Structure 1
Amino acid sequence: MVQILLVDDESYVTESLAATIPWETLGIEKVHQAASALAAIDVLEAYDIDILVTDIRMPGMTGLELIVEVNERWPHIRSLLLTGYADFEYAKKALQLKAFDYILKPVDDEEFFKCVSAAMDSLKEEWEAFDKVHQLQYSRRNDYGVLRTHLMHDLLLGRDLTVQKIKDKMSEYEIKLRTEHPASMLLIQLGKQFSDMDYHSVSLIEYAIGNIAEEVFAPDFHVWHCKAPHDCLIVLIEGNWHLFPERTVDEQNHFLRAAIETFRKNVSNYLKGEIYVTLTNWFHFPDELPKLYQTAIRSLYWNQQEETNPLLFIEEQTEQSHNSVKSLEGLYTHPTLTHLLESRQWEEAEAKVSRVFGKMEEAGYTREHLYELFISVTSAFMYTAHKQGRFITQMDQVGFDPLHAQKLVHSFPHLKEWIFSMMNKLKAEWSASEQSAKSYVVKQVQELIAQDKGQELSVKTIADQVYLHPVYLSKIYKAETGEGLGDYIIRMRMERALYLLKYSNKKIYEITTELGYQNPQYFSKMFKKHYGMTPHEFRDQ
């Protein structure tokens, strides 16, 4: 909602403008008036004003001084100056203060309309720019992590990339590892202490484990970590030979294994849980990565199942079950199942899973392969559901109960039936959750206002706490609730005022200060506007 504030000590000027200008045609939904600069500041603090029209010569604070205050506290506001003096010095000062325009009295309605319309166009351009900047900033924060993960998955799953292409992408994503240098790989599986955590908590744990790895292995090693395709964490490690050129391979192994022990202990101490680590020998990066990854995955799976060895060293690579492992490669080729579900390509997603089941029937499968398929597909299901603000257990409790899940991974037909059933449920639930992200922001805002009871709050301070631009937040809130955020803050303040007047012995000026108002008269005016009586009248009744 666009709001305008008209300020002039000659009230007939603002009243005439408020009554004669076709504000709705301009796209302005609310017109405020003030008879002084100080009263204008109270209005500015109470409402989300977008355009200010002020006289220059007023008792006390002048219009020019008001614009100085507005520029410091509300720089997004477009300021228009009214004056009866065609004085170049005024025009010069207005330009210095970056006033949007300068209008001479007596005001011509047509000229005034043009000036305000131009200010509206300027605001719309700024809002569009804010939207673009916000989207870019949000994307950039997430892009590097996502891009690094995608590149890692491409390498792990053997996607055909040239060495130069890999080098270029690693440089672009600021990955410190170098191609054609010896590297080692750690696969990390969370222990049972983390098994009861929800998706968000596990994500935080995984994020913390990655940070611990970076801290522990530096500066001896360069580290690249992310979530692997097979529901575990992967850490690629490369010796920092530039800093330690004199080290032999044996010495490097000694430092690496000591660092891994420290890494495991730190995870246990800080995160209160165990991890299972599978460590490969040094290999040629990136050529040998896909093959070694498959070997490490098999070793990690059985090591974690048996819970006998929290740190497993792979000294030899084997081709055991190599052909049957390949039967699941179609699940990870592009486009991935996660991408198909996220983009609502339901038929393609079903066809992809059908092809995987067909390959498994042709090549043969073991319980490990069923378990791998279950984990991979359920990860895609969970990601899709959580992104829409839904817990997957709300759609299906059976498949995500550990006891029932064990039955699924023992039976090829049961697993197949359950996966296609879940796809149908996801498809049915998708449309209902499309607005959940914006609803979550609104819920955050309302909780912040409730916690602080409206004190010292403004659209800007709330926007800072939810990491959004004030203009963008106001648009979201208005679209979701139908009420302006500034109006909501005022309403909550008035409800708080009603409570304090009724159930406390605080004086009215104390309540005024507690609610963040500087002027008791303005507070009384706002209270009367909401409840039809002044605070004194309410307390005396």
Structure 2
Amino acid sequence: MQMIIVDDEAHWVDNLSMHKPWHKLGIDHVHKAYSAQEALRILETHPIDIVISDILMPEMTGIELIERIRLRDKKIKCIILSGHSDFEFAKEAVRHQAVDYLLKPPTDNELFGAVESAIAQLNAEWESVSSQERTQYTLRENLPLLRGQLLLDAMKGHRMPPEEWNRKLDSYGLPFCKGDCALLLVRMEEEFGQYRNNGQQLMEYAIINMAEEIFGEFTEVWGVKEEHGYLAFLLQLKEESPELGKESLLEKLSMQLQYKVKQFLKGSLSIVITEWFRFPEQLPERYRHATAYFRQIVGDEREFIIRVGDTEQNVTQGPLDAIYMPPTLMNLLEAGRWEAAEDKLATVFSELDERWSESWEHCMEAGYIIAASFAHLAHRNGNTLVHLLGQDLDSVRNGEAFTSIARLRNWSTGMLGKLKEGTSSEIKDSRSLYVNKVQAFAEKNLHLDVSLRALADHVNLHPTHLSKIYKIETGEGISDYVSRLRMESACHKLKTTDKKVYEISTEIGYLDSAYFIKVFKRQFGVTPQEYRDGNH
């Protein structure tokens, strides 16, 4: 856990943060803030769990600080320190859900007791959030979506170890097991087109329910709408098998579904039924085979029920697998997952070597998808492949890169390295641009709000993201930079102008000159006036 101690009196902050065994309570890091504003800047960029704050500070009271904190995060626990046993202060602290209200100087038992209470409250709240009961409730609420996504992933070829399959089937309440299954693809015909903009999902839901009712007497049914618009149903026979043959049973039930949909929903269906196959290993292959039947056999014909023949495909006519399996190369490049992209290419070329070494068409197919993925990344980043790759793009233009698996492999891996290098350079340039914008804005507007939030708004970034970028590029935190800039500006004005200390204080962003003097002395060991008089 992380904690912050806030007080305008530096000795309180330093003593409480540095000389107490907080680690024994499970506090990993104790931050220090000498004003409420500084505390808010730290809260922007660190996952603070507990705040210990003085109640009377310049610019903002501890109660006002709690109010600001509550707007950002209602789970942070706050403890108030006060030199005044004022009932109104205590009442306000309670109203804002402070864990405790301690009088200065608190004893160690009082202080540690308050922090332990805060930790206990945090643990109880997060345990409640992550409790098994809540998890199970959330799972039940989202069960149809989770079941559907699992089946879609399986049909697309997403692989899982057997134990992971068993765990997911069990946790999702799916009574399927490894073994014989069949797949139905159902196409809703043109009569349902009238519902496309209003009620289409309701029609799909109704058909899925009717299929579960009709097939559910004899089989387990797991349905989902897939990416081509078909309704897909995975079927597995229940233990009490009917006397009717398995293939005949599915055809009979499909006809019944077709008839009932026509009768009650006034629309027609075409249905493709696969042969029985081993689930889950053969599901992606049978799914592709079934969609191919819709394209090649059923076509535009309506109200068909057809069973896919269990014929072996010619090895020279099958589809590529690895290039299309999720996550795709395009998605990996968009996410900047360079090592995973390298692994993806290795898998693609391994398949080409093992299955399609004699097929120029498969090599060309993979090549165009790889090249398109590279172009997409360049265009998403506001660039072009010509600019990034130069003459290396010529072998794609003239088709030379696709003439053999070896040439495609060499071109693809080489270009991936160049894209990674170019993207990394662009990212660094972009970061430098943000740093320059932040520094220029801060230098011109020290007398205004130059908090992390204001700087992030100026460059249109989230505060946490900006803070990380700035730290990576400069090695310095933004709040440290602003504080240093203010002190450097103060020193320059003290040396080169006759302005009053309070005027300089206002010009560099300190509305309370007494607080400015305190910060200056803490930094340089002398007051601003002493600095000016001594010509440091």
Please give the range of the TM-score, normalised by the shorter of the 2 chains.
0.3 to 0.5
Q: TM-score, normalised by structure 2?
A: 0.47
Q: Which has the larger radius of gyration?
A: 2
